[in-house]
């Protein structure tokens, strides 16, 4: 029996390794290229250098787009988490209009981004609201709100109602119950939803193109650079973003996955 089991395990492990290499090996190309000189589209592997990272620090256009992306991402996380908590509490309270609430929240996420972006563009034009980073934050929040809302609502529904009832029985008011009972139990869902919201906001392009103003985010900036080609410092930028992503995933995993209790 051990023979077939070991053979099947080895086969599955080999297939998994091949799929992982095919999917993730392209990510290492810009990382390696960032440490070598690129001349006329060819990489000089003879001598490593950090010149691409130095050039990146002097590329004000890319750095400005990156700052705008971080501002939009952080603002989107804050707004989506706050709105997600409020909407989840409203739905969980069995109040009127729960079906319509879910329809409104999930509709922008389920529609194609070009439709959502176009609808927001028409709306901003009708109310004479100038496009800027604020309109980008609004567009991203509308898009990612469904993910944050559903993550928080799932955690809220898994909580025991006895926790809230005990809080009221002990004399706590609504605000104290929310701050000391609900919010600590929702913290992991807020972190998970916030990470997903930031990742979606950082990568969003179609909605951003339609509602952007004078300042553009990094994906829009890179999309515009595709026509002329990327400079070597973009490889350094990709390497730094990948490093940041890995660190963020590791930190999130450490915060969300409970540690094993040793007896």
pLDDT tens, position by position, 96-120: 788 888 899 999 988 888 999 999 9
The answer to whether position 249 is within a domain reads yes
Task: Count the domains in the chain.
Answer: 1
The answer to whether position 210 is within a domain reads yes
The pLDDT value given to residue 1:
47
* Average of per-residue pLDDT across 186-194: 89
The answer to whether position 5 is within a domain reads no
The answer to whether position 70 is within a domain reads yes
What CATH number is attached to the domain comprising 237?
1.10.3720.10
C-beta atoms surrounding 230 within 10 Å = 14
The answer to whether position 25 is within a domain reads no
pLDDT > 90 fraction of the chain, expressed in percent and rounded: 27
pTM of the model: 0.82
The answer to whether position 54 is within a domain reads no
Packed helices 218-225 and 183-203: angle between N→C axes, nearest 10 degrees: 20
Element containing residue 44 per DSSP (H, E): strand 42-48
Residue 116, domain extent? 66-256
Question: For 39-90, what is each residue's pLDDT tens digit?
Answer: 666 666 777 788 888 888 888 888 899 999 999 999 999 999 999 999 998 9
The pLDDT value given to residue 69:
93
The answer to whether position 6 is within a domain reads no
* CB distance 135 to 119 below 8 Å: no
- pLDDT of 263 strictly over 50: no
The pLDDT-based confidence of 5 (bands split at 50, 70, 90) is low
* CB distance 235 to 33 below 8 Å: yes
The answer to whether position 44 is within a domain reads no
pLDDT > 70 fraction of the chain, expressed in percent and rounded: 91
Q: Give the whole-angstrom CA distance, residue 81 versus residue 75.
A: 10
Cα of 237 vs its chain's centroid, Å: 18
């Amino acid at each position: 029996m051990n023979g077939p089991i070991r053979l099947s395990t080895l086969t599955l492990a080999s297939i998994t390794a091949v799929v992982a290499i095919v999917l993730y090996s392209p990510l290492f190309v810009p990382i390696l290229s960032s440490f070598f000189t690129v001349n006329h589209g060819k990489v000089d592997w003879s001598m490593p250098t950090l010149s691409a990272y130095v050039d990146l620090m002097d590329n004000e256009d890319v750095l400005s787009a990156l700052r705008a992306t971080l501002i939009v991402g952080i603002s989107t996380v804050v707004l989506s988490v706050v709105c997600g908590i409020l909407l989840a509490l409203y739905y969980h309270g069995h109040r009127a209009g729960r079906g319509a609430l879910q329809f409104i929240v999930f509709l922008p996420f389920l529609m194609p981004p070009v439709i959502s972006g176009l609808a927001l563009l028409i709306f901003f034009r009708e109310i004479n609201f100038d496009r800027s980073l604020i309109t980008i934050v609004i567009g991203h929040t509308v898009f990612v709100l469904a993910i944050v809302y559903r993550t928080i609502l799932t955690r809220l529904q898994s909580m025991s109602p006895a926790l809230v009832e005990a809080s009221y029985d002990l004399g706590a008011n609504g605000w104290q119950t929310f701050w000391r009972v609900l919010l600590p139990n929702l913290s992991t869902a807020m972190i998970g939803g916030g990470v997903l919201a930031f990742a979606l906001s950082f990568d969003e392009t179609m909605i951003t193109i339609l509602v952007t103003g004078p300042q553009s985010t990094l994906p829009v900036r890179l999309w515009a650079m595709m026509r002329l080609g990327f400079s070597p410092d973009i490889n350094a930028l990709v390497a730094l973003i990948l490093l940041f992503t890995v660190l963020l995933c590791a930190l999130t995993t450490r915060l969300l996955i409970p540690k094993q209790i040793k007896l």
